[in-house]
Structure 1
Amino acid sequence: MTVQETTLSASARPDVRRLGVGGGTALCAGAVLGPGVLTLPSLAAAAAGPASILAWVVLLAMCVPVAASFAALGVRFPDGGGVATFVHRAIGPRAAAVVGWWFYGAVPIGVVAAAWIGGKYVADAVGWGEAGAAAVGGLVLAGALVSNAVGLRMSGRVQLMMGGLLAAVLLCAVLAAAPRITAAHFTPFLPGGWTSVGSAASVLFFAFAGWEAASHLSGEFADPGRDLPRVTRNALAVITVLYLGLAVATIGALGPAAADTDTPLTALLAQSVGVAARPVAAAAALFLTFGAVNSYLAGASRLGAALGRDGAAPRWMAKGGEPGEVPRRSLAVLGTAAVALAVAAQWRGADLRLLMEATATCLAAVTLAGLAAALVLLPRRTPLWYGVAAASVLTVVVLAFSGWLLLIPLVLAVASFSFLGLRRGLVRR
């Protein structure tokens, strides 16, 4: 497979010749931050109450070896291929094709979830209810599909601005809520038992995918060996401060109400700003979710074209994948799947948590594949290698809490292997 279109995070980076530590940190942190964090604190609180903070802490701790190993691999293999490149080198092309299918399959689910988040913030601001949230989410999805179909792409500056805006919104929400944090909101600390922490972690993984972005950026630094570790450390620091601050503020300031809102940032800001926080949060959420959906579809449509070109998907999907062209066939597949999922979610009464858990399951599978590659490619019996081994075990545990949703990456893997086998059989004939 090609290099730069193999992950969502790769699609979100601008075309640059040389990156500095500051720009690299912004891009790497921005790849991890995403619209999911606009609603995940309340979903985690609903799953585990105050103990959801433990899920945040555990996943942040897991990020250290994950980010460090992807950065180390990026230094050793400095190109844009990221996880797919590592899996190809360590395990083989068929495994790399499965990783591509996992990313491609995760995108329709993820963009529906992201669009719905924006819809919920707008509906909360104007009092439209669930039907209004679904309608706004549908408009976000349709707008992003049309934008990509006509070939409109967001510039690197706009993407960096979106990441900065999201970080600013999170920081403002945390600071606004800080004076209202009370110890009483942290008791009882573990109302749902220890298994509830695992359930919270399974949905929170949505907010922790994207560390492979550092490896995608590796070829764009003047000195990857010097700059990439610094960028990774800086991004880890930013993510840790924002995520832990948000987790503590959500529980400490909102208390039991944290589990009952779909728009936790609005609730946090409203405690200080009042009703004026609603339109501000809604506008920010709408802008951020549209940008994220647009970027995800742009990158994934090129991923589909690359899969088709390299024989890992039907050849007709490759059309439009050349530089400067629009991969409309691949985009049509993504759009059809996303619209079908959105309609099914509304018809069957599926909730946002289910969509985010399904996306997180696919992304966790990709992370596990990258960690498996790291165990093969990195020097053995070093502190980093043992850290990768521990992170692999933890990722398996998180995946176990996905339950029946594991069928999604399993079905995608079977479909990938079946297609490759069928194609090989046809070629032999």
Structure 2
Amino acid sequence: MSAARIGVSQGTALYVGAILGAGILALPSLAAQEAGPASVLAWALLLLFCVPVAASFAAMSTHHPDGGGVATFVSKAYGHRASAMVGYWFYFALPAGAPVTAYVGGQYVADAVGGGQGAALGFAGCLLAAAFGTNAVGLRVSGRVQLILVGLLGLLLLTACLLALPDADPGNMTPFAPHGLLAVGPAASLLFFSFAGWEAVTHLAGEFRNPARDLRLVTLLTLVVIGVLYVGLALTCVLVLGPELAESEVPLSLLLEAGIGGAANAFTATLAAMLTLGTMNAYLAGASRLGAALARDGSLPAWMAKGNLPGEIPRRSLGVLAVLSVLVSAVALGVGADLGSVMLAASACFIAVTVAGLVAGVKLLPSRRPVWYGAILAAAVMGVVLLFSGIFLLVPVALAGGALWYTRRGARPLPATEKAPATSV
């Protein structure tokens, strides 16, 4: 067993990477179309909503640090079969979510360098291979790569804002709510997926050197970093770009052009690549450990359990994800699947995981404490968001059916000697 673990700095980088995504390149414009300058309020409100979600998962991860993440929480609260369903939702959504994320990043890079569809697919393949490669080497290396990525990303975004600020015009804040304050609601709904990702990093809790000490600090630091980057960027876009913000499909490029001129394309390509790679890196780190934990507990074939102990590398589980990602990509390209549909199918599964984790928190967390009330509130809001998945709810339903079928076949968990020891905090 390897003793390699992650500390606060690498953990924060992995957490931030799971939340940040390539959507930040376009969402300031889309939110401004809905609510005008008042869209800044939507960013701030969603940041506040993240607090109970993050606090709930941090509290449960502290007491149950395990590669199963949310599936472990659900197992403690509602039993093995419910846990298997939740695990399937996350694990089998990843082979759809990762290629789509890579393709979105590849499109931005290709556009920035003047390439077409072939170039976008090529860049996507490179980003996907890089994310799988860093995780195959190990979480310590993956965490260091993530630390560098997030550090550079934060520096680039802050630099973009600071260089553009001399062109800021307070007059661009008026009229503040051209479509009424109620338009902040639809804008917040649109921006929601830029704040998802807390469910992905629960699988890494067992990899911290000291979960009881580190998890709360990492969660707090992540909220601060996300808040500064998101709200700061949204406010700068409104102040600098004004009405042009709502009309642009590439607001960050316009912001960069205002600050650095002709170098904006290269800047945007770098940002898109880092955002995409950072998100995939964090999700793969969590999903590969989840797969090994599911196999350990009898919910997937036992041969996939190798690497389920803290500090080990779950290469078999990671390999299964790589093969499934290639297959999903091939099928999607072969049938000409709509990009948005693939994203919505994966999102329905990830939202379902978050709802399940928060519902488990209502049972596991100390009752009538602030974090308990926060879990109830967040579960209710996320449940409503899940219903908006519509027809794509059939994807988590089908995966739940697969999990129930497999667990009813009589698969048994590994012996205790091949499992990670229980941790009491």
2:346 is aligned with 1:326: no
Q: CA deviation at 1:330?
A: 4.3
The residue matched to 1:239 in structure 2 has which SS?
helix
The aligned amino acid for 1:29 is V
Task: Assess if the C-alpha contact under 8 Å between 1:125 and 1:278 holds in 2.
Answer: yes
Structure 1: segments with no counterpart, 5+ residues: 1-13
Residue 380 in structure 1 maps to residue 380 in structure 2:
no
Among 68, 91, 103, the residue aligned to 2:55? 68
- CA contact 2:349–2:395 (8 Å) conserved in 1: yes
**1:27 Cα shift?**
4.1
How far apart, in 2, do the equivalents of 1:297 and 1:17 lie?
17
Report the Cα offset of residue 65 of structure 1.
1.1
Matched residue of 1:217: which SS?
Answer: helix
Candidates 288, 295, 298, aligned match of 1:311? 298
The 1:185/1:291 distance shift into structure 2, 3 A limit, reads same
2:266 corresponds in structure 1 to 279
Residues 270, 143 of structure 1: alpha-carbon distance in 2 compared, 3 angstrom cutoff = same
Task: Say what the alpha-carbon RMSD is for the aligned residues.
Answer: 3.7
- Structure 1 distance, partners of 2:171, 2:95, is 40
Residues 250-261 of structure 1 correspond to what in structure 2 (within 5 A)?
A: 250-259=237-246, 261=248
- What are the equivalent positions in structure 2 for 1:18-417 lying under 5 Å apart? 19-20=7-8, 22=9, 24-45=11-32, 49-129=36-116, 132-141=119-128, 147=133, 151-152=136-137, 154-178=141-165, 179-184=167-172, 187=175, 189=177, 191=179, 194=182, 197-198=185-186, 200-201=188-189, 204-210=192-198, 213=201, 216-217=204-205, 220-222=208-210, 224=212, 226-259=213-246, 261-290=248-277, 292-293=279-280, 296-297=283-284, 299-301=286-288, 303-314=290-301, 323=312, 326-327=315-316, 328-344=319-335, 347-348=336-337, 350-351=338-339, 354-417=341-404
For residue 205 of structure 1, give the secondary structure of its aligned residue in structure 2.
helix
Amino acid at match of 2:177: F
Task: Using the TM superposition, give the Cα deviation of residue 102 of structure 1 relative to its aligned residue in structure 2, in angstroms.
Answer: 1.4
CA distance in 1, matches of 2:199, 2:304: 28
How far off is 1:114 after superposition?
2.0
TM-score by length of 2: 0.79
* 1:90 Cα offset (Å): 0.8
Segment drifting more, 268-277 vs 382-391: 382-391
Letter in 1 for 2:400: A
Provide Cα deviations, 1:400-425, integer angstroms capped at 9, x if missing partner.
3333333332332233223334x249
Unmatched segments (≥5 aa) in structure 2? 413-425
Segment of structure 1 superposing worse, 331-340 or 98-107: 331-340
Q: 1:401–1:250: structure 2 CA closer, same or farther, 3 Å change rule?
A: farther
**SS of 1:313 mapped into structure 2:** coil
Partners of 2:198 and 2:233 lie apart in 1 by 19
> 1:397 and 1:192, CA in 2 relative to 1: closer, same or farther beyond 3 A?
farther
Kindly provide the amino acid, as one letter, of the partner of residue 241 in structure 1: V
Note the C-alpha offset of 1:274.
0.8
* Equivalent-residue separation in structure 2 for 1:324 and 1:223 (angstroms): 19
2:415 corresponds to: none
- Give the Å deviation of 1:284: 3.7
- Distance in 2 (alpha carbons) for counterparts of 1:94 and 1:24: 30
CA-to-aligned-CA distance 1:184-233 (integer Å, 9 cap, x gap)? 46647364994783475255324332266368436634472x54433332
Between the aligned partners of 1:228 and 1:320, the Cα distance in structure 2 is: 22
Q: Cα distance 1:425–1:134, how it changes in 2: closer, same or farther (>3 A)?
A: closer
Task: Report the secondary structure of 2:198's partner residue.
Answer: coil
Q: 1:122 to 1:173 in 2, by over 3 A?
A: same
Counterpart residue identity of residue 375, structure 2: V
Q: Distance in 1 between matches of 2:207 and 2:44?
A: 31
Q: Alpha carbons of 1:391 and 1:160: their partners in 2 closer, same or farther (altered >3 Å)?
A: same
Distance 2:118 2:185 in 1: 31
| Residues 38 and 264, structure 1, Cα contact 8 Å, conserved in 2 | yes
Question: Which is further off, 314-323 or 304-313?
Answer: 314-323
Relative to structure 1, the CA distance from residue 360 to residue 273 in structure 2 (aligned partners, 3 Å threshold; closer, same or farther) is same
Aligned-pair identity in percent equals 44
The answer as to whether partners of 2:88 and 2:400 remain within 8 angstroms in 1 is yes
- For 2:223 and 2:30, the matched residues in 1 are separated by 23
Give the direction of change, closer, same or farther, for the CA distance of 1:107–1:227 in structure 2 (3 Å limit).
closer
Look up the equivalent residue of 1:124 and give its one-letter code. D
Q: Distance in 1 between matches of 2:218 and 2:129?
A: 35
1:161-201 alpha-carbon deviations (Å, 9 max, x no partner): 11212222222233334342544466473649947834752
> Separation in 1 of the partners of 2:160 and 2:14?
22
Does the 8 Å contact 2:107/2:120 carry over to 1?
A: yes
